[in-house]
Structure 1
Amino acid sequence: MMIPERLVNCLKNEITIAVKDYRMKAEGQEDKPVTVYAQHIPNEEFEDDSYYPLVIPSLQKVEDAEPVEGTGSTATVGITFGVYGEDKLAWMDLLSIMERVRQRLLIFRVLDRRFRLILPVKFETIENQPYPFWFGYGTVTYQIGQPNERMADNWDRIMEEDNR
């Protein structure tokens, strides 16, 4: 599995753990769990509200720089948080979900023994929420492995999708 998709899936797993016990009243359901989608939601036309509450980690960019003191390549992942609530206090559910994720990622800074969280991290909301939807966003950056010229002889093996 290539690095970007592996990182997004590792984040999906960590976020799922962080929110596994959280339930809220949403979309006519009393006890709805948070759904975590990797990279995007399956139906981007938003034909109904059945996706909420949700969290979506999605790769924003990968940057490569000359390695200095253990750094070099990084991957930045955006995390979208969304809840649906006609209750004017639904923003508190949004913040609670965001805080659970923030704390989990700060406590468990290394994912899959290969991706290390780089500070600072950023979690924010917007002032004008599109009621009855409530959104927040996170931006996290992880140090990732950096390929180099010495790996040329192993190119085919490295590119295997199931390589771990």
Structure 2
Amino acid sequence: MIIPERLINCLKKEIEIAVKDYRLKAENQEDKPVTVYAQHIPDENFDNDSYYPLVIVSLQKVEDAELSEGNGSTATIGLTIGVHGEDELAWMDLLSIMERIRQRVLIFRKLDKRFRLLLLTKWETIEAQPYPFWFGYGTLVYQIAQPNEQMDWDNVKIKMEDTSNE
């Protein structure tokens, strides 16, 4: 797996652990677990509303900088958290899911022994929610590996191929 894929999948697993015991009454379904998606919702036509509650873990950008000037290479991950609820207090479910995730990523800041969460994290909602849907957003920045400019491309290619079976 390449770095962004691996990071997204590792973070997805951590979020699944954070919300595993959380259940909601959502979209006429009782006891619905939170579904965590990697990068996007598979069926983006929204033909049905069975997606909620949900978390989407997606890569926003990768930045490379000189190691001497900061953190080297970083990957910014965006989290979209959504719930469905006609109850006027459904926004509390949104905040509860966000807080479970926030606490989990702050406690377990290093993923897969290679991706380290950098602070400042960002958690936000929007004022004008599209009722009966409620959305929140998280932005997380992880330090990732940076190739050395002296590396031989053939060796890098071999290393990338070796890890693709993980």
Q: Give the match's secondary structure for 2:130.
A: coil
Give 1:162's aligned residue.
Answer: 164
Question: Where in structure 1 are there 5+ consecutive unaligned residues?
Answer: none
C-alpha separation in 2, matches of 1:48 and 1:15: 24
Give 2:94's aligned residue.
Answer: 94
Q: How does 1:8-157 map to 2 (within 5 A)?
A: 8-68=8-68, 71-152=71-152, 153-157=154-158
Comparing 103-112 with 63-72, greater Cα deviation is found at 63-72
User: Could you give the per-residue CA deviations for residues 108-145 of structure 1, whole angstroms, max 9, x where no partner exists?
Assistant: 00000000000000000000000000000000000000
State the aligned residue count: 164
Post-superposition offset of 1:149: 2.3
Q: Give the match's secondary structure for 2:15.
A: helix
TM norm structure 2: 0.95
TM norm structure 1: 0.96
Q: Give the match's secondary structure for 2:129.
A: coil
C-alpha separation in 2, matches of 1:156 and 1:24: 46
User: Could you give the per-residue CA deviations for residues 88-108 of structure 1, whole angstroms, max 9, x where no partner exists?
Assistant: 111000000000000000000
Distance 1:65 1:90, change over 3 A: same
Post-superposition offset of 1:71: 2.0
C-alpha contact (below 8 Å) 1:8/1:58 kept by paired residues: yes
User: Could you give the per-residue CA deviations for residues 2-29 of structure 1, whole angstroms, max 9, x where no partner exists?
Assistant: 0001000011000000000000110111
Q: Give the match's secondary structure for 2:146.
A: coil
- Superposition RMSD in Å: 1.4
Question: Which amino acid is 1:90 matched to?
Answer: A
Post-superposition offset of 1:69: 7.4
C-alpha contact (below 8 Å) 1:157/1:163 kept by paired residues: no
C-alpha contact (below 8 Å) 1:77/1:141 kept by paired residues: yes
Q: Give the match's secondary structure for 1:24.
A: strand
Post-superposition offset of 1:159: 2.8
C-alpha separation in 2, matches of 1:97 and 1:64: 31
Deviating beyond 4 angstroms after TM superposition, the runs of 4 or more aligned structure 1 residues are none
C-alpha contact (below 8 Å) 1:4/1:75 kept by paired residues: yes
C-alpha contact (below 8 Å) 1:27/1:49 kept by paired residues: yes
Question: Where in structure 2 are there 5+ consecutive unaligned residues?
Answer: none
C-alpha separation in 2, matches of 1:156 and 1:102: 36
Post-superposition offset of 1:39: 0.3
